[in-house]
Chain A
């Protein structure tokens, strides 16, 4: 089943409340997906720096001297900010690929959740309210974000199988549904050089968009491509550095509700997820059409 939420702010005065609003939406969707949860949040960024969000099952040991070890390996200053099993490493943007390779050597058990100037991704197994509390998601601020409560269908209940998936810098995707041709696309995209780390179908959807955009497509064009190339059921909600997109497959079994006001665009699997948003009573609320791409950008 899965629950997905998204919030794209137009009104800067709401930015300090982004994490709190998204967390509330996420927790409301618990009964659509109680096995794991995740959130991607686009916050302050510096184009010269890259933020690598990393996760470890042995966080105490792995994170203790990580900033110094990684800094020495890549010859640059690395800042580390820890949140439970995750840490955000800030380092010069031109060292990001070098840092990934160095991390694989230095801490083989570490997983990179996301990289980019703005995005941070936090995800874990467990009830959404517990996951949100572990990372103190409610305190985060930002311009836009997406979240997911998972009911696993296509891969194991692990942190690695939780959404959102990020396969490109500042890109991420959450998905309600199941793709039926993800194995073929995983092989094809890997041959094209796109990094795919799990057996999860959604990661292939994310990688597909990354590949399209690497080849010059806009977010809107990349989303159009999913309608041609991906088989199965899907409602995708996608984040980029300054954009937010939604697309549903042509059958559109998976539920979706959107709301727009002068202050924000919001997405929820169900209307319940939206009821605490400011001004929702006066918002334009609609169900996105099947096989139709919606996107917004700052």
Chain B
């Protein structure tokens, strides 16, 4: 176990150290102490390492993650796991705005609630939120899965492309071009796998699926009022 204490070491040195790890590194376990809401903790990682951040983080924690598993024991500020490529990010507490935004792959698990714009413009990431999510979540989502075990706020899936949205609780309102869809066997299978991987004890049958009605893919003047 390697420990980096942000009370005595700089954020920049910490990120440089973690970013320097290679595929073959033997130093696979890292503990980050005293994060105290600092920004950009454990960003740009590209090695199969496990990083535990003991406390709460500020903006952009674990952004651009590739391969690594980053576990935050507190809450995360805006933009956690933004543009993640692969790997896993787990937040024990809540996540602020635009968690997992533009993510291209990997798994983001939020055990508390996520605020507005969760998964905005998601491009392949899988996001599992055990609590609720805020308004405008999955706006312009293009690929990947957003699983919400609690409730969703206003305008879920506004201008959605191909991302799949699964919500167990209520949905305050659907955004433009987002509709409820049938839960077919293959969707139950996808959802079961996601819930298993996120360690969530919930039945896929309890969820409803939402997706794009595909009316707004290409601009058509007849649809102008729907935007």
Note all chain A residues with C-beta closer than 8 A to B78.
255
B135 near A271 with CB under 8 A, answer no
CB distance from A3 to the nearest CB of B (A): 12
Note all chain B residues with C-beta closer than 8 A to A271.
37, 56-58, 75, 77
B58 near A287 with CB under 8 A, answer no
CB-defined interface of B53-77 with A at 8 Å, one 1/0 digit per residue? 0001111000000000000000101
* B116, CB-defined interface residue at 8 Å: yes
B96 near A255 with CB under 8 A, answer yes
Please tell me which one of the listed residues B56, B59, B96, B135 contacts residue A290 in the complex, with CB atoms under 8 A apart.
B135
Note all chain A residues with C-beta closer than 8 A to B135.
252, 290
CB distance from B93 to the nearest CB of A (A): 8
Once A255-B78, A271-B56 are accepted as A-B contacts, the answer to whether A287 and B36 lie under 8 Å apart by CB is no
Please tell me which one of the listed residues A255, A275, A286, A290 contacts residue B77 in the complex, with CB atoms under 8 A apart.
A255
Interface residues of A in 215-261 (CB under 8 A from B): 252-253, 255, 257
* A270, CB-defined interface residue at 8 Å: yes
In the assembled complex, the Cα of A275 lies from the Cα of B163 at a distance in Å of 37
* B106, CB-defined interface residue at 8 Å: no
* B177, CB-defined interface residue at 8 Å: no
* A187, CB-defined interface residue at 8 Å: no
- How many positions in chain B have a CB within 8 Å of any CB in the partner chain? 18
* A157, CB-defined interface residue at 8 Å: no
* A272, CB-defined interface residue at 8 Å: yes
Note all chain A residues with C-beta closer than 8 A to B94.
285-287
CB-defined interface of B91-110 with A at 8 Å, one 1/0 digit per residue? 00110110000000000000
* B167, CB-defined interface residue at 8 Å: no
A272 near B116 with CB under 8 A, answer no
Note all chain B residues with C-beta closer than 8 A to A289.
134
Note all chain B residues with C-beta closer than 8 A to A270.
37, 58-59, 77
CB distance from A290 to the nearest CB of B (A): 7
Nearest residue, chain A, Cβ from B36:
A275
Nearest residue, chain B, Cβ from A285:
B75
Please tell me which one of the listed residues B59, B75, B93, B116 contacts residue A252 in the complex, with CB atoms under 8 A apart.
B116
B38 near A272 with CB under 8 A, answer yes
B97 near A255 with CB under 8 A, answer yes
In the assembled complex, the Cα of A271 lies from the Cα of B57 at a distance in Å of 8
CB distance from A208 to the nearest CB of B (A): 24
Note all chain A residues with C-beta closer than 8 A to B37.
270-275
Note all chain B residues with C-beta closer than 8 A to A252.
97, 115-116, 134-135
Note all chain B residues with C-beta closer than 8 A to A286.
94
In the assembled complex, the Cα of A270 lies from the Cα of B58 at a distance in Å of 7
Q: Residue among A252, A272, A274, A275 with the most chain B CB within 10 A?
A: A272
In the assembled complex, the Cα of A285 lies from the Cα of B57 at a distance in Å of 13
Note all chain B residues with C-beta closer than 8 A to A287.
94, 96, 115
In the assembled complex, the Cα of A131 lies from the Cα of B117 at a distance in Å of 36
Note all chain A residues with C-beta closer than 8 A to B56.
271, 285
A290 near B75 with CB under 8 A, answer no
Nearest residue, chain B, Cβ from A255:
B78
Note all chain A residues with C-beta closer than 8 A to B59.
270
Note all chain B residues with C-beta closer than 8 A to A285.
56, 75, 93-94
CB-defined interface of A254-282 with B at 8 Å, one 1/0 digit per residue? 01010000000000001111110000000
In the assembled complex, the Cα of A275 lies from the Cα of B37 at a distance in Å of 7
In the assembled complex, the Cα of A270 lies from the Cα of B38 at a distance in Å of 9
Once A270-B77, A285-B75 are accepted as A-B contacts, the answer to whether A290 and B134 lie under 8 Å apart by CB is yes
In the assembled complex, the Cα of A253 lies from the Cα of B98 at a distance in Å of 10
Note all chain B residues with C-beta closer than 8 A to A273.
37
Interface residues of B in 153-198 (CB under 8 A from A): none
Nearest residue, chain B, Cβ from A275:
B36
Nearest residue, chain A, Cβ from B75:
A285
Nearest residue, chain A, Cβ from B96:
A287
CB distance from A255 to the nearest CB of B (A): 6
Please tell me which one of the listed residues A253, A257, A272, A290 contacts residue B36 in the complex, with CB atoms under 8 A apart.
A272
In the assembled complex, the Cα of A286 lies from the Cα of B115 at a distance in Å of 10
Mind listing 10 A-B residue pairs with CB under 8 Å? A253-B97, A255-B77, A255-B96, A270-B58, A270-B59, A270-B77, A271-B56, A274-B37, A275-B36, A287-B96
Shortest 10 CB-CB contacts between residues of A and residues of B: A272-B37, A271-B37, A275-B36, A287-B115, A271-B56, A275-B37, A272-B58, A252-B116, A270-B58, A287-B96
Q: Which residues from chain B sit less than 8 Å from chain A, CB to CB?
A: 36-38, 56-59, 75, 77-78, 93-94, 96-97, 115-116, 134-135
Known: A271-B75, A285-B94, A290-B134; 14 extra A-B contacts, CB below 8 A, are A252-B115, A253-B97, A255-B77, A270-B59, A270-B77, A271-B56, A271-B77, A272-B36, A273-B37, A274-B37, A275-B36, A285-B75, A287-B96, A290-B116
